[in-house]
Copies of this chain bind each other. A is one copy, B any other.
Amino acid sequence: MFSKACEYGIKAAIFIAVNSSENNRVSPKEISEEIDSPQAFTAKILQALVKNNVIKSVRGAYGGFEIDKDKIATIKLAQIVYAIDGDGIYNGCGLGLHTCNENHPCPVHDKFKVVREELRDMLENTTLDQLASDIKSGVSFLKI
């Protein structure tokens, strides 16, 4: 469904959100340990999230990654997926036609569209703070 990069990106963002809510800046090392991902690869994905203004990086000693506390509740899963995997999952044709087009639909268009839009709604209505709070309360998990 999502690329590995996107999976790592989502989990990393949640972990950063959890820590930022406690005024704690985190490093790629901590992140990759907590979400069980390759460190250098994860660092690259973090850079993409920084460029897309999903997270903030602070360079130099005592630096790390963080998210403005008051921004955590406004960041949607959709932004993360878009930053890393692009918009193919929303707009692309399920059977790989060049474009998904109502007027030139592939055989599964009508049925696929429903699923795709449910996925989009889900991603656009899920914020980082919702996901972070379940991690904090031990209801959900970032690895294993």
Interface residues of A (CB under 8 A from B): 1-2, 4, 7, 10-11, 14, 77, 89, 92, 94-98, 104-109, 111-112, 114-116, 118-119, 122, 126, 131-132, 134-135, 139-144
Contacts and interface: CB of A to CB of B under 8 A. Distances in A.
A114 B104 contact: no
A119 B115 contact: yes
Contacts of A135: 107
A143 B120 CA distance: 25
Contacts of A4: 96
Given A114-B118, A114-B122, A106 B141 contact: yes
Contacts of A96: 4, 7
A132 to B, nearest CB: 8
Contact of A10 (B1, B95, B115, B119): B95
A94 B140 contact: no
B94 A2 contact: yes
A140 B93 CA distance: 13
Contacts of A119: 115
Contact of A95 (B7, B106, B107, B109): B7
Given A10-B95, A115-B119, A77 B108 contact: yes
Nearest to A35: B95
